[in-house]
Amino acid sequence: MKWWFILPVVFLALVQSTITSFNLLLFFLLVMAMAGKETESLVFGFLGGILLDLLTGSRLGISSLSFLLAVMAVILYKRKFSSSNLWFWLFIFLLSGFLTNLVAGKPWHWQDGLVTIILVLPTYFILSRFDFLGLGQDDEGIKLKL
């Protein structure tokens, strides 16, 4: 487990609680889960949610629960569908943002969806360009030598 991920989690929780209302921590956790860091995204989703609840003064554990549900949905659907598909990324990020706000009891605005799309597009292209998504690996199918 990479413990240095705690630094961006703390920074994003501070930024989210003081500067912006967009869920940057959720975005970071989903990118981690999509890039193959499932265990780290679950652990830091829980810890980041507790920290975010402490910083914002909301009910303790609600953000952690919503982050864990969103990351688990990504992990489960990533096994079923191809994570190298841009439409999958857009759908799962928008759905996770909506469900996170639904669990926390906050309204979801169309501006959140627009910002999510604006952030997902370059993130997807950067990760696929440098093959962080495992696009170069063909782990499905049987290779035959003829």
| 112-142 pLDDT tens trace | 889 889 998 998 888 888 776 554 444 454 5
pLDDT tens digits along 2-14: 778 788 888 988 8
**Percent of all residues in the chain with a pLDDT value above 70, rounded to a whole number:** 88
| Residue 50: CB atoms within 10 Å | 16
What are the phi and psi torsion angles at 33 (to 5°)? -65, -40
Average pLDDT over residues 30-45: 88
Q: How many C-beta atoms lie closer than 10 Å to residue 19's C-beta?
A: 9
Q: Which residues of 86-119 are buried (b: 16+ CB within 10 A; e: fewer)?
A: eebbbebbbebbebbbebbeeeeeeebeebbeee
pLDDT of residue 47: 92
- Give the Cα separation of 146 and 144 in Å (integer): 6
CA–CA gap between residue 142 and residue 130 (Å, rounded) = 25
55-113 pLDDT per residue, tens: 988 888 898 999 999 999 888 888 787 777 888 888 889 988 898 888 888 888 888 88
